[in-house]
A and B are shown apart, each in its own frame.
Chain A
Amino acid sequence: MKIGILGLQGCCVPHERKFAALGVDCCRVVFPEDLTGIDGLVMPGGESSTMLKAATPGLWSAVGDFAEARPIWGVCAGCILLARQVDNPSQQSLGLMSIDVRRNAYGSQNDSFIDDLELNLTAVVHIEAIFIRAPQIMQVDDDVKVLGSHGGHPVMVESRRHLATTFHPELHESMAVHEYFTGKVGRHSDG
């Protein structure tokens, strides 16, 4: 199994460390051809508006094609890219999950926070969730399952193939979310 990390901008290295600890190979994805031969893709935290500008032509349509068969996990900025609709301000997105997302919904860095979170993964797990200038998931359709909520808003959701978190599992101790995504990738993999 090989997992790609979208390497346009943002927080890539901590994901690579987590997957390495799980024995999963990683590579960076910058060009459309980098998607060949990988089984899942992580779109990491960072600035979504930067990622939109830094992408080479053809990358997003290739990610869209990839998403037809393979899982994508969007973290924070990546969750914004996965969404159907984005506001505050409105922004282009890939529409790969039926969720509506508000950017910087909690405010500036002084409003970033860490809190305990209960997640319904294969079992119920409790983690320390790190929210950094986080977006909020404002609406989810019926084909999207909520795996964790905070303050009345979903913060971890999944569709049949894809996964989105508004917090940063790559920065906390727990391996649970990386294990969960690896499992999802395994189920969709040809091997």
Chain B
Amino acid sequence: MTDEQRKLNIGLAQMLCGGVIMDVTTRDEACIAEDAGASSVMALERVPSDIRKQGGIARMSDPEMILAIKDAVSIPVMAKVRIGHFVEAQILQELGIDFIDESEVLSPADETHHIDKWQFKSPFVCGATNLGEALRRIGEGASMIRTKGEAGTGNIIEGVRHLRTILREMKLLAQLDEGDLFAEAKRFQAPLQVIQEVAKTAKLPVPNFSAGGVATPADAAMLMQLGAEAVFVGSGIFRSSDPQGFAGAIVQAVTHFRDPGKLVEVSRNLGTPMPSIGAGQLSAEEKFEHRGW
């Protein structure tokens, strides 16, 4: 990735701000998402809640199904690769996918390395639970960060914690003297240059989106009010009782996230959200958020 390409890739991430990126598993779902106003779709074979239920190794989706979805919509299409699986990423780049998600929702392929994203032309989005993780991914070349949350649970608590953590850590960093930043780079295990940039602006140098556990329009609006620049919704749309209704309502909630009147309007009579899993019901090994290093 050249400097020019990095500008283009962060630029695409900026174009997705204020929007909703929806997980879809078929052409029909992709069309429902686009018609509802999704700013992008994530093409994958199983939504996170199904991956959780079925277990086993979750891999990159069949290129044929990704291409079918790419063909069905005009909005940008994203797809997931396993953490560290640079060959899956090469395949997605070759397919001309618009954004590659190096995702903890799939089974990790490498227990020490993430993908060296500088080797790719295509942009990458990566999950993070705290600032160190976010800055390591940016150091590796990610063009967008999303908080991980806990995908497939319909429980927003982890996403809220991750977003609050990153925002708080950035605010604290901005208070420090320049001389302190060397120690902070060590503490965060992140490149000094990115630490210095964040200390100057109290913002990530790439857009900061939020994902994991979004089940209702109110969940999406909460992440936006906390400071997310856009929202990913995984199982929350197509595992709800009314995918079309939930998709449209969550799009409206993200546009009008500070408007309680509008939030009332879109939340009324919406139906049943996706089946949920409480925070205490998952063991540490069952949590996707711990994947990534």
Contact = CB atoms under 8 A, between A and B. Distances in A.
Interface stretch (A47-55, A119-127, A141-149): A47-55
Contacts of A46: 15-19, 39
Contacts of A81: none
Interface in A19-74: 30, 45-47, 49-50, 52-54, 56
B12 A133 contact: yes
Given A8-B18, A9-B18, A109 B9 contact: yes
Contact of B37 (A45, A54, A168): A54
Interface residues of A, number: 37
Contact of B255 (A9, A110, A168): A9
A183 interface: no
Contacts of B121: 110
Contacts of A8: 18, 255
Contacts, number: 111
B108 interface: no
A170 to B, nearest CB: 9
B34 A112 contact: no
Contact of A109 (B4, B76, B255): B76
A191 interface: no
Contacts of B77: 108
A171 interface: yes
B256 interface: yes
A30 B98 contact: no
B157 interface: no
A52 B75 CA distance: 13
B75 A49 contact: yes
Contact of A130 (B11, B36, B37): B11
Contacts of A56: 262
B74 A114 contact: no
Interface string A161-191: 0000000100100000000000000000000
Nearest to A168: B11
Nearest to B19: A9
Contacts of A14: 14
Given A49-B34, A110-B121, A113-B8, A11 B14 contact: yes
B105 interface: no
Given A49-B34, A50-B251, A103 B74 contact: yes
Contacts of B75: 47, 49-50
B123 interface: yes
A103 B21 CA distance: 19
For A10, A104, A107, A132, the residue with the greatest tally of chain B CB atoms inside 10 Å of its CB is: A132
Interface of B: 4, 7-9, 11-12, 14-19, 34-40, 70, 74-77, 93, 96-99, 121-123, 248, 251-252, 254-256, 262
Interface of A: 7-14, 30, 45-47, 49-50, 52-54, 56, 76-77, 88-89, 103-104, 107-114, 130, 132-133, 168, 171
16 contacts: A13-B14, A45-B14, A46-B16, A46-B17, A46-B18, A47-B15, A49-B74, A50-B38, A53-B37, A54-B252, A54-B255, A109-B8, A109-B96, A109-B98, A109-B123, A112-B11
